[in-house]
């Protein structure tokens, strides 16, 4: 009914659907026919190693238990494979990782020693977007028991997490991904505590992320791949991939990914009949008007790709296109993984050089956030493989409505790049008092080095007084939301940091975190209050904004009289404030508070961010 213009319009032959049909059957834009060469990667129906998804012609995806049972059988038959658990989910499921090593080296130390590139791919951080799992199963089979891709393990080791968000994966139904073309039933985006793992890289609130960060530190992959499916606009690209580019924390890695990796993998995908593109394809500046262009994205470290950038770990985000059928998406992911392993193995030397360059760079100014300036003149354009669309007024929303016709068109559109909106000078070190143990514990999980002092020490530091604190009132996509609201289980805040040089007394157990270590950029983005993924903005320091003592009016009144009498300058200041500030004059509370703030009884540490910068 209401969206009939997109699908078949109801005719005399098509009866009007019942309400329950209308509300449960999403009407997706038309599918573009596809018959790529990669179809040949699926095995015949009688193959003993057919994967559960191949068995149903990619109509379905297996459950957690079915997936792990299939992998256990494969690992039992293939000596090159071993399954290990990275840790447990809140509901007690193991997060399994498959290690593929031709030499059967199954510890991080041994694996590292063989010198081959280590490619780490994870699927199902958002379990509804599960393409990576079914592609990985096929690939693991082909590089072992089936033998068609055995050469891949000659020059590389492959680590594969088939389902990262295991609890979300098991919250499976037909209603998990309304904008997506298959499989029939999929899991839910968030974990069993309703937290989004792909917002948790910096703050590490979930046991799943704790397990993943530990694994990244232990196994030290050369390349980290995080596999998703998009939402958003229709376009021709069936598989897109991206990473933090120029302007981020890892320029040498970004350049390797852009100039070396991307062209090679793009060629391989195209040769197998796919339509590869950049993840920027989804970033329409105006969701109703493609002619305004798209923008590049520099992710903050709450996301896998931003986290990789901040810690100089080459990290690639894969976004398959939600409107393409499941078989096309899984096969594209297979080709992507195969090409990535092959290419990384061959170019492992230049990749490791790039990583070393970025780890050593320790630039003087560290970027903290980025944004796109829509008012700036357009300097770049790209040829965009679009699907024709039309926009018209909507009687449903009262706003605009867009329809995609299914017809491929290529169009030249503006391409905007982000610029740095906040940055900070790299200090020598940060100092954290032991009371803030939650923060210190997370630094340790990230693999950041620090020393803990056993004797008290006075240190000259720059501290921040945090003015104009606000509970964050905007949601993720930056649409203004009037009411402040919790996000990812936290009360996020923003504040204006005002530098305050001090000699600070650090008690025994305080922590000194050097900023010139390989993870120094990550240290800054976690500890600088102006950084959107700082512990401060995530609400780890909300305590510092409360008053915990007060003064009785009957004590303050006579004190204020005496202060005015003994200090003509103060008296003049008070007179002027009364004359110029109506709200102040009208508020007895504010007037008393003003005098309180002139005494040393007001908490001197109110709004003082306890982390100091040693310059
Ligand atoms: Zn996703």
Per-residue pLDDT tens for 60-72?
999 999 999 999 9
**Over the stretch 75-94, which tens digit does the pLDDT of each residue have?**
999 999 999 999 999 999 99
Span 126-140, mean pLDDT?
98
C-alpha of residue 466 to centroid of ligand 1, in Å: 34
Query: Residue 128 Cα, ligand 1 centroid: separation in angstroms?
Result: 8
299 C-alpha to ligand 1 centroid (Å):
14
Whole-angstrom Cα distance, residue 410 to residue 236? 9
pLDDT for 7 beyond 60: no
Mean pLDDT over 481-486 rounds to 75
How far is ligand 1, taken at its centre, from the CA of residue 300, in Å?
A: 15
Distance from the CA of 133 to the center of ligand 1, in angstroms?
13
How far is residue 596's CA from residue 578's CA, in Å, rounded to a whole number?
16
3-state helix, strand and coil shares in percent for the chain, rounded to the nearest 5: 35, 25, 40
Going by C-alpha positions, the residue among 382, 223, 189, 191 that lies closest to residue 305 is 223
Distance 229 CA to ligand 1 centre (A): 6
CA of residue 186 to ligand 1 center, whole Å: 13
- Does residue 6 register a pLDDT over 50? no
The predicted pLDDT at position 482 comes to: 65
How far is the centre of ligand 1, averaged over its atoms, from the C-alpha of 125 (Å)? 7
What per-residue confidence (pLDDT) applies to 19?
83
pLDDT of residue 38 exceeding 90, the answer is yes
Q: How far apart are CA 487 and CA 515, in angstroms?
A: 29
Q: Residue 197 C-alpha to ligand 1 middle, in angstroms?
A: 10
| Distance from Cα 16 to the centre of ligand 1, integer Å | 35
Sheet containing 81-88: give its strands across: 81-88, 94-100, 156-161, 117-123, 223-229, 315-320, 239-242, 276-278
pLDDT in tens, 571-612: 999 999 999 999 999 999 999 999 999 999 999 999 999 999
Instruction: Measure 89 CA to ligand 1 centroid, in angstroms.
Output: 19
Say yes or no to pLDDT of 466 above 60. Answer: yes
Res 9 pLDDT > 60: no
Q: Look at residue 146 in the predicted model and tell me its pLDDT.
A: 98
pLDDT over 80 at 227, yes or no: yes
What one-character-per-residue DSSP string does 20-56 give?
HHHHHS--PPPPPP---GGGGGSPPTT-TT--HHHHT
Q: Give the Å distance between the CA of 306 and the centre of ligand 1.
A: 14
Distance between Cα 233 and ligand 1 center (Å): 15
pTM score, whole prediction? 0.94
Beta bridge partners, 415, equal 294, 380
Query: How many angstroms is it from 230 CA to the middle of ligand 1?
Result: 6
From ligand 1's centre to the CA of 349, what distance in Å?
Answer: 31
Residue 13 confidence (pLDDT): 58
Residue 235, pLDDT above cutoff 80: yes
Q: Is 244 exposed, middle or buried (0-12, 13-18, 19+ CB in 10 A)?
A: buried
Separation of CA 320 and ligand 1 centre (Å): 9
The torsion angle over the Cα atoms of residues 442, 445, 446 and 451, rounded to 10 degrees, is 80
Report CA(279)–ligand 1 centroid distance (Å): 12
Q: Please tell me the distance from the alpha carbon of residue 302 to that of residue 313, in angstroms, as a whole number.
A: 14
**Ligand 1 centre distance from Cα of residue 123 (Å):** 10
Q: What are the residue ranges of helices labelled H in 198-286?
A: 207-219, 251-255, 262-271
Report the Cα 347 to chain-centroid distance in Å: 26
Q: Using CA of residue 42, residue 48, residue 49, residue 51, what is the dihedral sign?
A: positive
Distance 329 CA to ligand 1 centre (A): 14
CB neighbours of residue 94 within 10 Å:
16
Q: What are the C-alpha distances in Å from 578 to residues 95, 107, 409?
A: 64, 72, 67
Confidence of residue 484 (pLDDT cuts 50, 70, 90): confident
* Cβ contact 155:116 at 8 Å: yes
**469 CA distance to ligand 1 middle (Å):** 31
C-alpha of residue 178 to centroid of ligand 1, in Å: 14
CA 18 to ligand 1 centroid distance, Å: 32
Label residues 117-143 b or e (16+ Cβ within 10 Å = b): bbbbbbbbbbbbbbbbbbbbbbbbbbb
Instruction: Calculate the alpha carbon distances from 136 to 159, 229, 376, 585, 588 in Å.
Output: 10, 15, 43, 69, 68
């Amino acid at each position: 009914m209401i969206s009939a213009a997109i699908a078949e319009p109801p005719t005399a032959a098509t009866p009007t659907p019942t309400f329950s049909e209308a509300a449960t059957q999403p009407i997706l834009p038309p599918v573009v026919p596809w018959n790529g060469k990669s179809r040949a990667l699926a095995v015949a129906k009688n193959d003993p190693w057919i994967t559960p998804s191949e068995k149903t012609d990619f109509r379905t995806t297996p459950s957690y238990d079915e997936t792990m049972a299939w992998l256990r059988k494969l690992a039992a038959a293939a000596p090159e494979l071993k399954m290990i658990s990275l840790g447990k989910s809140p509901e007690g499921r193991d997060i399994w990782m498959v290690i593929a090593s031709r030499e059967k080296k199954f510890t991080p130390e041994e694996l590292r020693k063989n010198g081959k590139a280590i490619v780490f791919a994870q699927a199902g951080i958002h379990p509804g977007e599960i393409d990576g799992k079914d592609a990985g199963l096929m690939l693991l089979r082909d590089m072992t028991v089936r033998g068609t891709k055995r050469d891949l393990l000659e020059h590389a080791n492959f680590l594969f997490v088939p389902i990262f968000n295991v609890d979300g994966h098991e919250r499976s139904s037909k209603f998990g991904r309304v904008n997506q073309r298959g499989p029939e039933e999929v899991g839910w985006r968030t974990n069993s505590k309703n937290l989004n793992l792909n917002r948790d890289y910096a703050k590490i609130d979930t046991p799943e992320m704790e397990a993943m960060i530990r694994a990244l530190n232990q196994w030290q992959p050369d390349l980290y791949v995080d596999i998703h499916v998009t939402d958003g606009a229709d376009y021709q690209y069936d598989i897109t991939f991206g990473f933090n580019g120029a302007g981020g924390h890892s320029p040498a890695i970004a350049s390797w990914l852009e100039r070396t990796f991307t062209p090679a993998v793009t060629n391989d995908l195209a040769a197998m009949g796919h339509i590869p593109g950049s993840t920027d394809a989804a970033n329409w500046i105006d969701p109703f008007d493609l002619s305004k262009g798209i923008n590049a994205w520099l992710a903050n470290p709450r996301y896998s790709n931003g986290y990789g950038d901040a810690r100089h770990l080459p990290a690639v985000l894969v976004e398959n296109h939600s409107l393409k059928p499941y078989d096309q998406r899984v096969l594209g992911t297979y080709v992507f993984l195969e090409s990535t392993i092959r290419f990384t193995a061959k170019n492992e030397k230049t990749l490791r050089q790039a990583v070393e360059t970025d780890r050593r760079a320790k630039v003087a100014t560290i970027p903290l956030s980025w944004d796109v300036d829509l008012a700036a003149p357009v300097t770049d354009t790209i040829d965009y493989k679009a699907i024709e669309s039309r926009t018209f007024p909507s009687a449903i929303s009262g706003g605009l409505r867009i329809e995609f016709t299914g017809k491929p068109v290529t169009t030249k559109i503006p391409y905007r790049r982000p610029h740095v909106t906040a940055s900070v000078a790299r200090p020598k070190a940060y100092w954290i008092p032991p009371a803030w143990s939650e923060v210190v514990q997370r630094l340790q999980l990230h693999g950041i080095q620090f020393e803990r002092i056993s004797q008290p020490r006075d240190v000259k530091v720059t501290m921040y007084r945090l003015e104009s604190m606000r509970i964050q009132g905007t949601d993720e996509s930056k649409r203004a939301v009037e009411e402040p609201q919790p996000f990812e289980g936290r009360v996020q805040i923003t504040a204006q940091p005002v530098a305050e040089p001090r000699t600070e007394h650090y008690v025994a157990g305080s922590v000194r975190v050097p900023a010139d270590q390989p993870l120094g950029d990550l240290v800054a983005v976690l500890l600088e209050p102006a950084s959107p993924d700082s512990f401060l903005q995530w609400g780890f320091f909300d305590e510092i904004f409360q008053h915990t003592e007060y003064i009785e009016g009957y004590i303050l009144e006579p004190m204020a009289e005496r202060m005015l009498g003994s200090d003509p300058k103060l008296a003049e200041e008070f007179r002027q404030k009364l004359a110029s500030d109506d709200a102040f004059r009208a508020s007895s509370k504010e007037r008393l508070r003003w005098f309180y703030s002139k005494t040393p009884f007001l908490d001197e540490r109110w709004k003082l961010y306890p982390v100091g910068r040693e310059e």
